[in-house]
Structure 1
């Protein structure tokens, strides 16, 4: 049996593309900007996962996706994408006490040239 104190479980939903009201420049305000969001949530795993282990032993990945899409308040303009990441972190911490830390990576798709990926990663530990 594995010692759960040495194991870490990281749930990951990558490359969610969604439009969010964000930006500080006049050409950005008033219209949604396309973002690519990746979320990683760290949890303590249970001691073992058998083939018939039920979902309540982990977290539904769709909750992570929801925090980055429908969970963002409609009609709210986030000046900074850091604020979008903050909202996602707080939403997930409120949803599940088992989450110990969250990393949210956000790429602003409209401002990159070629294959550039311009954005931020916000990592937050549970207070």
Structure 2
């Protein structure tokens, strides 16, 4: 079994222009976004290991918030997840794979979680 490192940001609520129905278009709706990024693991993490040996968690948060283009309407939340994956791949060649879970909060009627999970592996066109 090989070592692995998964960086996570969970349950970030972000207002995003998304949806295909008339009541959804034109206004942002809240999405609960969780991200897990498989990261190239170092041989060892000592107490004085610098941040450069890993990834700043704020980069994950950025990809799911300020990293989303302002004013762009994503018809599908799959496209939102895809954009987050691409942002993380471009940010850092050590990101090997990304899993993004998105829950559409506005359509829940009884607290259920309705949404998607997208997992992408780094491809050669991402570099690395």
TM-score, scaled to structure 2: 0.94
Please give the alpha-carbon distance, in whole angstroms, between the structure 2 residues aligned to 1:114 and 1:64: 29
- Deviation digits for residues 78-125 of structure 1, max 9, x if unmatched? 000000000000000000000000000000000012220000000000
Name the counterpart of 1:62. 58
Q: CA deviation at 1:43?
A: 1.1
1:22·1:33 contact (CA, 8 Å) conserved in 2? yes
1:7·1:44 contact (CA, 8 Å) conserved in 2? no
Please give the alpha-carbon distance, in whole angstroms, between the structure 2 residues aligned to 1:6 and 1:103: 19
Of residues 21, 45, 54, the one that matches 1:25 is: 21
- Trace 1:28-107 onto structure 2 (pairs within 5 A): 28-107=24-103
Confirm or deny that 1:6 pairs with 2:7. Answer: no
Which segments of 5 or more consecutive residues in structure 1 lack a partner in the other structure?
Answer: none
TM-score, scaled to structure 1: 0.95
Q: Which runs of 4 or more aligned residues in structure 1 lie more than 2 Å from their structure 2 counterparts after TM superposition?
A: none
Name the counterpart of 2:126. none
Count matched residues: 123
Which segments of 5 or more consecutive residues in structure 2 lack a partner in the other structure?
Answer: 124-128
Question: CA RMSD for the aligned pairs?
Answer: 0.8
